[in-house]
Amino acid sequence: MRNLFDPRPKDRRDELFDRVDELRLLDESVNRPLIVVLGIRRIGKTSLVKSFLEPYNSIYIDLRGAATHADLYERLSEGLSVDLGRLRRFIEGIRGVRVMGFEVEIKWRGSDSISLLGLLEELNRRGKFIIAFDEVQDTKPPISAELRKIIAYSYDHLSNITVVLSGSEVRLLDEFIGVNNPESPLYGRYFVELNVRRFSKDESLEFLRLGFRQEGIEPGVDVLEGAVELFDGIPGWLVYFGRSYVDHTHDINVIKEQAIHTALNELAKLSRREKAILKAIAHGARTWGQVRRFVEENLGESIPKSSLTRLIRRLELLSIVKDYEFLDGIYKEAAKRL
């Protein structure tokens, strides 16, 4: 069993801290066609989904950055390979799927090939199966459009298949599923929605205590409370803190600076205007008008009203801010430095 401060996503229920209610809801939903798991980065979606899948015939597929068919099938065969132990019997003899020792090869073009849809049909015939697509909002056309159609088909016709979609951005609902878009193949379909919550202060404290105990050290209570205050119940940051404390430094300010840097690297991808908006919000702008004033002052240019509205909306779709508040305090600190 891995320690709590192992930075990789957990994938076993006995490695997972808490999440009892979440696992119960997921277990109760295993016969539903579609489950959606949402939550900000580092809140523990991947860990929850992987641990949920553990006892089932299932596959986990990480779709971050997948844009081509080659990407899609590569991720699919990786997913099958990782869980080959429990899947070997279940996938035996499927056309186009070859098990080579500990790896699974998928032939997806030409003779004797199989598509993702064909694979799902085959799995459906064999029994109950769960397929999880993680960070699915990050896919690009044509893969995103194709996945949407496949998921809609599975929803309507493959009664043994449960699809789990998870992601860090509300874009998953608004753009990938298209909850408000009648043109989307997934529009109007009911799904189970699970929002992964942050840990309470007590839970965070317990998380850190347990993690440090496993590492054989016992920091003072002021260190623990300082970290709980700073990282606000986000398990990924608690792990980051624990790992850094154990391996590198006992200075909480140094760890904080490193965390802010990590967040800054992610924000670097945004456009100039988006950064200025985040900076405005980080410095306390609480209304559209205040943001506009701050941004125009900051950039020395006027921004059309509709552009500003669209950019704020996009930052909400990326789950960085909501209602002029940051969802993660570390990103707020980072945004002040943009």
Ligand X SMILES: Nc1ncnc2c1ncn2[C@@H]1O[C@H](COP(=O)(O)OP(=O)(O)O)[C@@H](O)[C@H]1O
Shortest CB 303 distance to ligand X, Å: 32
Task: Tell whether omega for the bond before 142 is within 30 degrees of 0, i.e. cis.
Answer: yes
7 binds ligand X (CB under 6 A): yes
Q: Is the Cβ–Cβ distance between 35 and 165 less than 8 Å?
A: yes
Neighbours of 66 (CB within 10 A): 24
Interacting residues with ligand X between 164 and 223 (CB under 6 A) = none
> Tokens at residue 252, please?
């909480």
**How many residues sit in the footprint of Mg ion (CB under 5 A)?**
1
Site string for Mg ion, 12-51 (x = CB under 5 A): ----------------------------------x-----
Q: Which stretch binds ligand X (CB under 6 A): 14-22, 64-72, 180-188, 318-326?
A: 14-22
Shortest CB 215 distance to ligand X, Å: 14
Identify residue 6 by its one-letter amino acid code.
Answer: D
CA distance 188 to 185: 9
**Near ligand X by CB under 6 A: residue from 10, 75, 198, 279:** 10
Interacting residues with Mg ion between 45 and 104 (CB under 5 A) = 46
244 binds ligand X (CB under 6 A): no
The candidate with the shortest Cα–Cα distance to 263, out of 298, 230, 295, is 230
DSSP string covering 261-330, please?
HHHHHHHTTS-HHHHHHHHHHHTT--SHHHHHHHHHHHHTS---HHHHHHHHHHHHHTTSEETTEESSHH
Nearer to ligand X, 15 or 225 (CB): 15
Site string for ligand X, 31-50 (x = CB under 6 A): --------x-xxxxxxx---
Interacting residues with ligand X between 216 and 235 (CB under 6 A) = 235
Check residue 10 and report its DSSP letter. P
Contact residues toward ligand X (CB under 6 A) are: 4, 6-10, 16-19, 39, 41-47, 235-236, 239
